[in-house]
Structures are given as C-alpha cells and as structure tokens.
Structure 1
Amino acid sequence: QQPGTVTRICSGCKPNEMRWIKDFHEKHIAPMNPGKFLLHLTPSFSQLKKDNGKKVSYKYMNKPYGLLHWMENELGMDPDIDPFAVQPPNDANGSSSKSVEHGVVVLMDPDMILLRPLTGDFTDENMIFAPSNRDHIKRVEHGAPIAQQDGYLNSQWMRLNTTYITNGRASNLGGVQFSDGAKNWNTGPPYMATVRDMHRIAMVWADYAPRVHDLYPELFAEMYGFIHATVQLGLPHTLIKSIVVSTTTTNDREGWPYVDALDDSEICQPQPVSGKDLPVGLHYCKRYALDWWFFSKYRLKKKFISCETPLLRMPPADLPAKRLNYAYWPPPHGHRGTYDSPKTMLSEKNGRREAFMLCGLIRAINEAALHFKQSEASGCLGNPNTNTSATYSIHEDPDH
C-alpha cells in the first residue's frame, strides 16, 4: 500500500464542478483510506497574459502554480522565503526547521497508475539509472531530488534565452553542458524531492514557466520551466529510466527492458508478477493499440464511471503469445458512417509492449469502475440499469 497521503490537486473548477468533485471525493475516494486520500482545489492558473495584451490558455501551467498553492496553503510552507538562499543543513530531527520540510513530495501526472508503492527510496530496488557523471543517489534527501528521465525531452531547453527566463537573474546555465541534460536535468514525472526542496522548486518554477512559454509556446513548456528552475537552484536530479513506461517506441529512456524480459504468459497477468523486475507505474499519455484492441484517455466515454456504462472489454491473456504486429485505429470522434480503420504495422517487440499497456490500463480502469458500481454510495446496488459486463469497446463507440 502506498504510504503517506495522496492528494489530488484540481485547478479551475467552476462552482458547480467544485460541489460535484467534493461530493464524489467524500463519497467514493476518501472512504477507501480515511485521512490519507485528500483533495485540494485551486483557482485556474491556465490564462497567460502576453506582451500584446492578449491572453492565451495553457492548461499545464496549473502544474507549477497548483503545486505551489497546495504547499503553501495545506503544508504551511512560507511564501516569503528566498528560494535561492543558503538552506540549513540536512537535519531530519526537525531542529533546524519545521519537521514537514523533511518529508518527501512525489509529484505525479494524473494519467499515471502505480503498480507498486512509490516512496522516493530505491535503495533496495533494481532500477535502471541514467548514465551520469555523479554518484547515483538512491534515496531522496535534501539537495538530492530524483525523477524519471523523460522519454520525450531532449536538451533543447538549453537553447532558450536564460536571461529572459530568469528575468535577468542569470545569463547562462552555470556551466551545465548540452551533454549533461540526459545525465542530470532532463526530468519528467514522477518528480521526487524533499518538501523543502520541492517548495523552492515550485516557487522558481511558477516564476519561470510563463516566460518559457513566451519563448516556447508549445507542449512541454512547463516541463522546460521545471528544468530551468532546478538548474538555477543547483539541484541536479538522479535520473531513473525505469520508474514508468509510456511510449512503446522509445529506445532506452524507460523501463521497457523489464517488460521485454517477461514471458508471453506474464505480460497480460495482473502486475507485479512475483519475482520479476518491473517499472513502478504506467504513464498513459499516448494511444495504445494492437489488433482491434485500443485505449486512449481522450477517447474513453466521459461517463465511464457510472452505473449504466459497461466495463471495457478485456484483452485475452494470450494476446502477447499471438505475436501480432499490426493495429487498427478506431473511427474519429463523432464518426457515425462507414469507416475503414487504418491498419498500422508494428514490430513484434512493440506489439508485446502495446499488449502490456492495454492489459494493465484496461484492468486498472475496470477495477476503478467496478469499485464505484459496488459501493453503497453510488446508488448502483439494486439498480436494474447497473451494467457490470465487460463489453464496452472504443471501436464501437461513435461518440467517443
């Protein structure tokens, strides 16, 4: 079981949405682990005002600002500290500062599913570390954060104007070389740091990220902002490749070697498989397809968690053993006419990886939906319209 508390940070909810999400959390989430599953609501931080006076929306700006809002309003971190000031020594007994500062924050994206607990201590775990010119620190400590080596990012963030991003505080990256990016800086979620360090990061991250977006108004702008903040704070990360898996076509930036080593009979089994090295979690930021099986978070029926919607159709356990090397994509959203699904060819290795993601994601999401249907608070028990059959397929759903 995951230790500590788990907080969902939601930003920008309208009043009616706030009432609904609070009610849903209190009825269905909090009772699963009283006092441990928490909810924190913040204003929207997605609107960015540009120099020309226009406002643009970038929803991912809620990440740095939402984190900062939670840390200062729930954890009581001081908003007036200088994040660049010399920090007190690593004293875990609480004598140098509030004891909460010595805790560990694990910042995850909402599209992640854990296969086992994630604590920030990898001392006794067999992980795949990114090559580095520093010693691999296997446990989060003050001044020693840990993160997933991101499977998408390269070191292009170094080409942005540092003087502009830092508002004149710095004119360079302090000696960080282009080759250092993949060793210590190209971070992605989950991000792990002590509360003290994460608060400092959040303060600078929220300051830098909007200016990064000015220079790079694209996806990952806020992630570039995180990296620039850690560089200026002098907080290189120990990068681990195998915390999560997400994109099945990546070469060596994720935990796929563990999956590739599984027997065909193990890939679609409930994870973790006993005695096997595996990634800690699944990051379902992509679309996954093999044969006629398909999953995408953007194509899931919006009212999937309900009494009436059936569960997703589960792939067969022997899907990996079929060694399929193709996938059919479902019709576009809203398509109601005839549609010839395009056939995409895959390598055999990528086909097994797609099967791993499909089986793991569909199983976990079905478990969540079934938990809802079986809870007294849902109103599904005894409801003649309640559907627990695993018959739902995105391929056959023209509205999603």
Structure 2
Amino acid sequence: MWSLVTTWSDIVPRVHDEYPHLLAEMFGYNLAAAHLGLRHTVAHSFAVSDPWAGGEGWPLIDKVPKENICKNFPKSEYPHVIHYCQRYYIGKWFIGKYRLRKDFISCKAPLLMPPPDDAAVKFTSAIKPDTGEIKEWKPKQAKEYAFMVCSMIDALNAASKFYKDQHCKDGTGNYNYTYVFHDDMRMPDEMI
C-alpha cells in the first residue's frame, strides 16, 4: 500500500497537468498500479454508481422484481458498494450530494422523506432537479433510479439517526421525515 500511495502521489500531479479534469486522480492510480506491476481483477458486480454506465453491478438490481426495489430488497442481490456520485431522481424524489443541506447531520435538521415503497412501480417519470421539466423513464431506468434514491435516502437517514441518538439530548433530535429536495417546486398532481 505504501508503494502504491507514494507512487500515486508522485504521478497524479503530472497526470493533472496533462488532464486537469474530473477523474485525473483515478487515471493516476491506474498508472501507479501499472508502474508497480500490481495486477487487478475486474469485478463488474462490485458496485453501482451511474444507471447510464456500463460495467457496473446493475444486473443485480435489474433481476430484482420492481416491487422489491425500495422494500424487501434481497440482501443476496445487493451490490457491495453504492458510489454516491451522481444525481438520482424518481417521481418528486431527488438526491444529490451537493444539494443536501449542510446541517443535515445535526439535531435540528429533519430526516429525508422516503419515497413510497412502490416507487419503481408507481413512477415512470421524474422531475429534473434544475429545470423542473418532467423526464420520462423507461422501466429499467425507473427501477435503477428508484433503487438509488431509496438506498441513498435510507443510508443518509440511518447516519442522521445515529448522530441524533448519540448527540441530541433530552429529545431535541428532529426525527421527522419531512425533508424533500423538491419541496420548493410546483409538483404536478401525478408526481405527488
């Protein structure tokens, strides 16, 4: 690990000088690993991140019935890693790391309102977070976006509840599931 980290830290600034874009540090890792002769095994089912990306563990999600995407998801099909790097939306529910309120992990902030358990069945569209336009999803896309929204909201709420349980004294923690990213936008009736 030490050899990899020191080689990577030497290479990555030069990679960034040539390619000053997103992922330069990842390309630097690849070059450092290759320089050291470290072989890797590619695991296509290890993680999910972007429903539009190939080479990720989406076949695990796709084979689960859409009725079980937000509730009763089988542990045997759950990916090892959910890489929270995109923006995900289904119906009126949206999750994006740069739009999460800064005090979300606090005593006063409410928890995120989870989507309905049947989100992957109920919604075939979503409200685009920046424009308010309706985005139509194909069934596979709706299922994958519902999985990401449900999984991320569950994980963020679990982290916030753990913080509240440990740090909020005498019932001062806000355990209300009322925080929704899209509350400030007009919702068509079928999206609510």
- TM superposition score normalised by structure 1: 0.44
By percentage of residues, which structure has more strand? 1
- Equivalent of residue 42 in structure 2, options 239, 242, 256: 239
Partner in structure 2 of residue 362 of structure 1? 153
Matched letter for residue 259 of structure 1: I
Question: Structure 1 residue 304 and structure 2 residue 97: aligned?
Answer: no
Cα 1:387–1:304 change in 2 (3 A) is same
- The higher relative CO (CA closer than 8 Å, separation ≥ 6) is in 2
Point out where structure 2 has 5 or more consecutive residues left out of the alignment.
186-192
Partner in structure 2 of residue 176 of structure 1? none
- Equivalent of residue 390 in structure 1, options 167, 177, 180: 177
Cα 1:270–1:380 change in 2 (3 A) is farther
Distance 2:72 2:81 in 1: 13
Partner in structure 2 of residue 291 of structure 1? 91
Structure 1 residues 306-357: Cα deviation after superposition (integer angstroms, max 9, x where no partner):
11111001011111122x33210235xxxxxxxx611222221011000001
Partner in structure 1 of residue 168 of structure 2? 379
- Equivalent of residue 118 in structure 2, options 315, 318, 324: 318
CA contact (8 A) 1:270 1:360 kept: no
Identity %: 39
CA contact (8 A) 2:124 2:142 kept: yes
Per the TM alignment, residue 254 of structure 1 is displaced from its structure 2 partner at its CA by 0.4
Distance 1:369 1:270 in 2: 22
Question: Structure 1 residue 260 and structure 2 residue 73: aligned?
Answer: no
Per the TM alignment, residue 397 of structure 1 is displaced from its structure 2 partner at its CA by 5.5
Distance 2:168 2:113 in 1: 23
Cα 1:312–1:270 change in 2 (3 A) is farther
Which secondary structure state, in structure 2, belongs to the residue aligned with residue 327 of structure 1? strand
Distance 2:169 2:164 in 1: 5
Distance 1:304 1:222 in 2: 29
Task: State the Cα RMSD in Å.
Answer: 1.7
Structure 1 residues 14-34: Cα deviation after superposition (integer angstroms, max 9, x where no partner):
xxxxxxxxxxxxxxxxxxxxx
Distance 1:295 1:391 in 2: 14
Q: How many residues align?
A: 185
Point out where structure 1 has 5 or more consecutive residues left out of the alignment.
1-197, 332-339
Structure 1 residues 56-102: Cα deviation after superposition (integer angstroms, max 9, x where no partner):
xxxxxxxxxxxxxxxxxxxxxxxxxxxxxxxxxxxxxxxxxxxxxxx
Distance 1:321 1:379 in 2: 37
Partner in structure 2 of residue 63 of structure 1? none
Which secondary structure state, in structure 1, belongs to the residue aligned with residue 21 of structure 2? coil
Partner in structure 2 of residue 219 of structure 1? 22
Matched letter for residue 248 of structure 1: P
- Equivalences for residues 101-250 of structure 1 within 5 A: 198-250=1-53
Distance 2:111 2:168 in 1: 17
Cα 1:392–1:313 change in 2 (3 A) is same
Cα 1:258–1:379 change in 2 (3 A) is closer
Which secondary structure state, in structure 2, belongs to the residue aligned with residue 200 of structure 1? helix
Per the TM alignment, residue 291 of structure 1 is displaced from its structure 2 partner at its CA by 1.3
Which secondary structure state, in structure 1, belongs to the residue aligned with residue 2 of structure 2? helix
* Displaced runs of 4 or more, over 6 A: none
Partner in structure 1 of residue 81 of structure 2? 281
Distance 1:270 1:390 in 2: 20
Distance 2:115 2:104 in 1: 18
CA contact (8 A) 2:46 2:57 kept: yes
Distance 1:289 1:318 in 2: 14
- TM superposition score normalised by structure 2: 0.89
Matched letter for residue 381 of structure 1: D
Cα 1:354–1:314 change in 2 (3 A) is same
Per the TM alignment, residue 270 of structure 1 is displaced from its structure 2 partner at its CA by 5.7
